[in-house]
A = this chain, B = another copy of it.
Amino acid sequence: MSTPARIPEATIRRFSLYLRHLEALDADQVDHAPSGLLAARIGTTAAQVRKDLSHLGSFGKRGLGYSVPALTAVLRRTLGLDRRWRVALLGAGRIGTALFQYEPFRRRGFCITTVIDADPRKIGRRLGDVRIRSEGRLEEALREDRIELAIVAVPAEAAQRLVDRAVAAGVGAVLNYAPVPLRVPTGVALRNVSMLVELESLSHALANGRARPVREEAR
C-alpha cells in the first residue's frame, strides 16, 4: 500500500472520535451522517469535519452526508484498525492492570500478549490469560512475541531505562502512562499520556471561572 500524505496529528485524534460516533450511529442503524451531526457530536465545526475527512477522499453526498459504513471502514483502515496489533504491557501495577483489562483496547484489535514486571512476587502469576514475565528477560519476551507496541505503566524512575531496552529490542511504538515524559529515537512513535493534563485543564477552568461556581445553582 502506498503511503498517503501525512495527516496532521490533531486530525488523526479526531478520526478516533469520529469513528466512535460512527459506530454508535451504525448500531442505531443510521445510514448517513451529515458533517454537522458529526461536528456536534465531537464538539467541532462542520467545516472542520469536512476538512478532516477530505484527507480520506470523497465520501460525502450533498444533502445526504457521509455514508456511515463506508466512512467507518476507511477510518478503521486509516487508523490501522483493520488488523490486530501485538502489544506488550510493561508494568503490572494498578494502572497497568486496569489498562490490561480495559475492554475497548481488545475490541479494537490491540492484543496484550505479553506482560512484564520487575517484582519477583508477580512473575509467573497471570493477568487474564497472560503469564507475567520478568523484566530481566524483557528483550527475549518482546522478540519471542514479536511485539509491535509497548504500553508503559511502570514507576517514573524505571520508565526511560525500560523503554530504551524495548526500543533496542525492536518495538516501534510506545504508549507511556508512567508519570514522566519519555524520549525515543526518531522513527519510533511515542505518546506520553499524562492523566494530570486533563485534570489540570479542569482545575484551570474552575479556578478561572470558566465553569460555574460550585453549588450556585444547586438546591
Contact = CB atoms under 8 A, between A and B. Distances in A.
Interface of A: 3-4, 6-7, 9, 12-13, 15-17, 19-21, 24, 41-42, 78-81, 83, 85, 94-95, 97-99, 101-105, 108-110, 143, 146-149, 151, 168-175, 179-181, 187-189, 191, 193-219
Nearest to A108: B196
A214 B170 contact: yes
Majority secondary structure, A binding face: mixed
6 contacts: A12-B201, A15-B204, A81-B200, A95-B98, A98-B98, A187-B212
A94 B97 contact: yes
A202 B21 CA distance: 20
Contacts of A211: 172-173, 187-189
